[in-house]
Each structure stands twice: as C-alpha cells, then as structure tokens.
C-alpha cells in the first residue's frame, strides 16, 4: 500500500528545518551513525544538543569532530549514560534535568543489534530489550515532566526489523531463554519501542497530556556502525556486502526520519515514518505502512504495565 508523500517526490529533507536557536534536543547514541548525523544537523541549525553516550572518550571525540565540522561556538554537551544499566539511565536523566531548562525533543536513537549469543543485563533483561527498550522507557518516563513543560516531543527510532521476527512480545519468555536468536531478540526490542509510542499517545490522551507529541520512525537500511558494534562475524560480513549495494543509504539520510519527527510541524502522530523507496530501506522520507501487529492495543497495554513493574516507575 503506498501513501502519497506529503513532502513531494524528494520526500522530507533537512532544508525544511528553520533556525533552531533557543531549542534543546536530547539524543541517545551520537558517537556514530544516524545519531551523529542528527546531532550535526541540529547543531548546524543553531540548536543546543545534549548527547547521552556510554563511552566518555568516544563522546569527547564526537564533540571535537562536531566542532571541527561546524565550529567551536556550537552548544553541545555529553552526559554519560549506559542504556543497558537502569541506575546509569536514572542518574543521567537527573543530570539532564539539572543541566537544561527545556527539552524540545528527546530522540531515542542509540541501540545494539543482532547480539549473537543471549546476554543478560545487570537488571536481568535480554541485552537488546534491556538497552533498546527498557533503557529508553525509563529515560522517556523520567524526562517526561520537562518535555511536557516544554510542549516537546518524544521520537523513537525503530526499525523495519519490527516486522522480521516474532511479530509480537513473548510475554511468557521475554528473555527468549528457550529459543534465543539474535534476530528475534532485536526484532522484539524494536517492536516494543514502536508499540510503546502508540500506547503512549493513547495514555497521554486519557491523562489530558496531549501537548506532548510522540512519533515512531526508522532509518531504513543505513551505512552505520550498528552491526560492527554488536553483531556476529557472519552478520558483519553480510552487512559489509550490503553496504556496497544500492539497498543501503548514507547514515545522513538515515537521520532524516528522526530529524523530521523532532522538528517538522503538523505531523500525524499515528503514522510511521521512514524511507519510502525499495522495501522502505532507502529513498524519500515520509509516512508509510505499518503492519497492524505494531498497533495491537492489548499487547501494547500489557507491555506497558509489565514495563512499569520491571523498571519500577509508574509513568502514565
């Protein structure tokens, strides 16, 4: 099913972003890939950017690189945060709340993918669920009061992988103890992230908090470090070859969907945004089909309640 692109043939591009002076964006995982590109483009439009990264040395090198490319006057800082450790996420959230006066958008971008063998985080979750899903849930919940005060946005970077695994949440074996596969685990974490955005929209309406906007998007198939960081040797080989083909796009293009969701006025929150070309891996950015299992309200509601219990935070 094709949806007419509201931004025309070329789709959404960052030329549409106006001057962002006075606005503040918080982004997870900016040391490479789409997060780096998103930070670079926001800074080049005059925004203040707070980066949340696990590795302080890499974060320092990222800031140096951004200053090199854009100039020393950019307003950028790093707050150390490991998405895979709840105590670290909580500490980082409280630091962010002390350091900034507003959050115009929180971009939940950082992730690991295709971890070859099941790994369990300190908090007891399968690593992709722990980092990609539970880490971001806690961050969103703790930053929500300031995002609300700022009439800001929450942007989740999902993946077309949401439709390439179990296609639901395996409540009876969330850590996939019985049948772990790297793909099912990654897919479940990305599906959980996407489902939670639509569930958040429902809950905000019920709570009368509709001034916050929440969007789900994905970067298509972009040439980044994702598989190199956490994937198996075989996956690295396969993705290395894919990167040479027209089935992938530069990391910069992969950042456009999250930048659009963070800055474009009058977007439809109920849509799913990403590249609209071949297999939704490349091409002009806009809204495109999302399979119904990602909007299954019963599953999303059950997941939300379970998540609040798991992370020990009552959100909405």
Ligand X SMILES: NC(=O)c1ccc[n+]([C@@H]2O[C@H](COP(=O)([O-])OP(=O)(O)OC[C@H]3O[C@@H](n4cnc5c(N)ncnc54)[C@H](OP(=O)(O)O)[C@@H]3O)[C@@H](O)[C@H]2O)c1
List of residues contacting ligand X (CB under 6 A): 28-35, 53-55, 58, 81-84, 109-113, 131, 157, 159, 218-219, 221-222, 224-226, 229, 254
Distant-in-sequence contacts of 91-96, Cβ < 8 A, 24+ apart: 92/52, 92/139, 93/138, 93/139, 93/142, 93/143, 94/142, 96/26, 96/50, 96/52, 96/143, 96/146
Q: Would you state the structure tokens that stand for residue 121, as one six-digit string?
A: 């985080």
In the complex, least distance from residue 14 CB atom to ligand X, rounded to whole angstroms: 16
SS3 11: strand
In the complex with ligand X, which residue's Cβ is closer, 182 or 219?
219
In the complex with ligand X, which residue's Cβ is closer, 4 or 279?
279
- The answer to whether residues 108 and 128 touch, using CB atoms and an 8 Å cutoff, is no
In the complex, least distance from residue 97 CB atom to ligand X, rounded to whole angstroms: 18
In the complex with ligand X, which residue's Cβ is closer, 29 or 165?
29
In the complex, least distance from residue 54 CB atom to ligand X, rounded to whole angstroms: 4
The H or E element containing residue 194 is helix 182-207
Interatomic CA distance for residues 291 and 197, integer angstroms: 15
User: How many residues in total does the chain contain?
Assistant: 316
- What per-residue string of b and e applies to 17-39 under the rule 16 or more CB within 10 Å gives b? beebeebbbbbbbbbbbbbbbbb
Interatomic CA distance for residues 206 and 249, integer angstroms: 39
In the complex with ligand X, which residue's Cβ is closer, 142 or 209?
142
In the complex with ligand X, which residue's Cβ is closer, 209 or 223?
223
Determine the residue with CB nearest ligand X: 33
In the complex, least distance from residue 126 CB atom to ligand X, rounded to whole angstroms: 13
In the complex, least distance from residue 105 CB atom to ligand X, rounded to whole angstroms: 15
End-to-end CA distance of the chain: 34
In the complex with ligand X, which residue's Cβ is closer, 21 or 279?
279
In the complex, least distance from residue 28 CB atom to ligand X, rounded to whole angstroms: 6
């Amino acid at each position: 099913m094709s949806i007419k692109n509201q931004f025309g043939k070329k789709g959404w591009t960052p030329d549409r972003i106006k001057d962002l002076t006075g606005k503040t964006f918080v982004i997870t995982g900016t040391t490479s890939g789409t997060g780096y590109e998103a930070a670079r483009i926001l800074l080049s439009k005059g925004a203040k950017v707070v980066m949340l990264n696990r590795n302080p040395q890499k974060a320092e090198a990222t800031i140096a690189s951004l200053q090199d490319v854009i100039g020393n006057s950019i307003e950028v800082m790093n707050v150390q945060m490991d998405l895979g450790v709840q105590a670290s996420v909580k500490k980082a959230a409280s630091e962010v709340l002390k350091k900034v006066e507003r959050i115009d958008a929180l971009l939940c971008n950082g992730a690991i993918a295709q971890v070859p063998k099941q790994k369990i985080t300190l908090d007891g979750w399968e690593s992709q669920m722990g980092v990609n899903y539970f880490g971001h849930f806690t961050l969103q919940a703790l930053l929500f009061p300031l995002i609300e005060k700022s009439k800001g946005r929450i942007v989740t970077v999902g993946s077309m992988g949401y439709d390439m695994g179990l296609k639901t949440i395996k409540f009876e074996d969330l850590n996939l103890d019985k049948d772990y596969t790297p793909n099912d685990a990654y897919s479940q974490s990305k599906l959980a992230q996407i489902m939670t955005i639509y569930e958040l929209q429902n809950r905000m309406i019920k709570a009368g908090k509709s001034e916050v906007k929440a969007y789900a998007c994905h970067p298509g198939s972009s040439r980044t470090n994702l598989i190199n960081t956490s994937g198996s040797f075989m996956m690295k080989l396969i993705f290395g070859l894919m990167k040479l083909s027209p089935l992938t796009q530069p990391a910069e293009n992969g950042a456009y969907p999250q930048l659009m969701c963070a800055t474009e006025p009058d977007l439809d929150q109920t849509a799913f945004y990403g590249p609209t070309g071949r297999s939704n891996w490349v091409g002009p950015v806009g809204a495109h089909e999302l399979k119904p299992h990602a909007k299954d309200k019963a599953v999303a509601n059950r997941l939300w309640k379970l998540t609040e219990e798991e992370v020990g935070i009552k959100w909405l």
